[in-house]
Amino acid sequence: MRACTEHIFGKKLVTMTKFLLTIAALAGSASAFAPAPASQSSTALNEFARGYVGGEGPEPIPFSSQSSSVNWDPAGFTERAPEWLPWFREAELKHGRAAMLATVGFVVPEFFRIPGAQFSFEAIPKVIDAHDALPDSMIQIFGWISFLEACSFPALANMNEYDRAPGDFGFDPLGLYPTDPAKQKEYQLSELKNGRLAMIAIMSFSAAANIPGSVPALAGNPMF
């Protein structure tokens, strides 16, 4: 009995040691992804947020010290951490793109379903129930997300050199991205604003689905 207990304890100790070593290794390697200071032109230094789109405004901002959204930065990130601005914009674009896909994935299945009895309206009346009803599908989704995230690691690591615009992975198989700089800014601003709206939308959907009445605008909606 004693030998068995010592064996089990030993295995748990080895597992815990491996876990702690893994965490330590990840923490130590995190500094490799931190943005290194890069030389900037005087023009870039004088522009708000390195001249990135999104600060044009002029949407009104109520209950704010600023009357509009022009160069709106209430937390002062552009001044306190200018070297991190490419990472901030990269994160915002990535979350915005994920939110746009999630919002579409939340709404479209309310009207159309892929073939299969397990995906039917009878089996899953509400889209939010698919998370628990289809564990195998959730594993596949998680696997594809992990794969795409892993594919982006080299590009993220190369942000140290700032040799690309935030969010630009050179992926445009349909050739939709224009060559005209003015049109490019229009596309960038459109993606940014739609991504911001989608982040608010998917958070509202999640809240309404899990906390009834938490989003008055969605109260009584059959989706939730």
193: tokens are 């604003």
Range with lowest mean pLDDT among 56-70, 98-112, 151-165, 172-186 = 151-165
Q: Which of 196, 66, 73 is nearest to 188 (CA)?
A: 196
Looking from the CA of 209 toward its CB, the CA atoms found within 13 Å total 15
pLDDT single digits (tens) 68-97: 888 888 888 888 888 888 888 989 999 999
CA atoms of 137 and 31, how far apart (whole Å) = 35
CA atoms of 223 and 126, how far apart (whole Å) = 6
pLDDT single digits (tens) 4-19: 434 433 443 334 444 4
> What are the residues whose beta carbons fall under 8 Å from the beta carbon of 40, sequence distance 6 or more?
50
